[in-house]
Amino acid sequence: MRKIAELLALALISIGIDEDIADKFEKTFSENNEVLESRIVEDLGVEPASARRILFKLQYENIMRYRKVTNAESDRNHEVYWTLNKEGILKLVKRRVRMMRQNLQKRLEYETSEIIYECANEPTHARMPISDAMAQNFICPECGASLIQTAKENIIENLSKLIELLDNILSDLEK
Ligand SMILES: [Zn+2]
């Protein structure tokens, strides 16, 4: 249960839920598989209407499911229980990690295949492949300094490490 609750927090953050709320969800569901809606509202510490909005968003994203239980002895007609949809959570997290990996891979290919020039004065001014640098006469369009060839070893190494890290996470998620 613990692992899936951690993944839940990741999944929530990846769809734009506040980190604070995601942490509370993780806490609530790390011990319980199924939680009463009123308990979730209480744990989140937000208005019931906003808690319900979040819950239905999670249902829409296929991260959570609910069931209604009719309670004859209660003054309310029914109680709502929410459970984690483990498969949905796994699927979402995997999809997000794969997307990140794909972007990093594209960036790595670009960095590896292109000769890249940047402003000698301030790299954030301009960074471009050699063909574009030629078109600029190797002059920074921002400040007029020379464009010089970038040392890419560190970038390539860091990108490769990140990709490896994501690969490890993905293979861990497959288990
Ligand atoms: Zn410049």
Q: Which fold has domain 2-84?
A: Arc Repressor Mutant, subunit A (1.10.10)
Distance from the alpha carbon of residue 137 to the mean position of ligand 1, in angstroms: 13
To the nearest 10 degrees (0 to 180), the angle between helices 2-14 and 19-31 is 160
Using an 8 Å Cβ cutoff, are 65 and 82 in contact?
Answer: yes
**pLDDT in the model for residue 58:** 95
pLDDT value at 73 more than 80: no
The rounded percent of the chain whose pLDDT value lies above 70 is 96
pLDDT digits (tens, 9 = 90+) for 56-66: 999 999 999 99
Could you tell me the residue ranges of all domains in the chain? 2-84, 94-174
What is the DSSP-derived secondary structure letter of residue 139? B
pLDDT value at 136 more than 80: yes
Contacts of 51-59 with CB under 8 Å at 24 or more apart are 54/17, 54/21, 55/82, 57/15, 57/17, 58/12
In degrees and rounded to multiples of 5, residue 11 shows phi and psi of -60, -40
Locate 93 and state its tokens: 């997290």
**pLDDT in the model for residue 77:** 74
- Considering only residues 28 and 5, tell me which one the structure prediction assigns the higher pLDDT: 28
Distance from the alpha carbon of residue 145 to the mean position of ligand 1, in angstroms: 5
Question: What's the CA angle centered on 6, arms 24 and 168, to 5 degrees?
Answer: 155
Distance from the alpha carbon of residue 131 to the mean position of ligand 1, in angstroms: 17
**Residues 6 or more apart from 32 whose CB is under 8 A from it?**
1
Distance from the alpha carbon of residue 127 to the mean position of ligand 1, in angstroms: 10
Q: Which amino acid is at 105?
A: Q
pLDDT digits (tens, 9 = 90+) for 18-46: 999 999 999 999 988 899 999 999 999 99
Task: Find residue 79's DSSP bridge partners.
Answer: 69
pTM recorded for the entire structure: 0.75
pLDDT digits (tens, 9 = 90+) for 82-123: 999 999 999 999 999 999 999 999 999 999 999 999 999 999
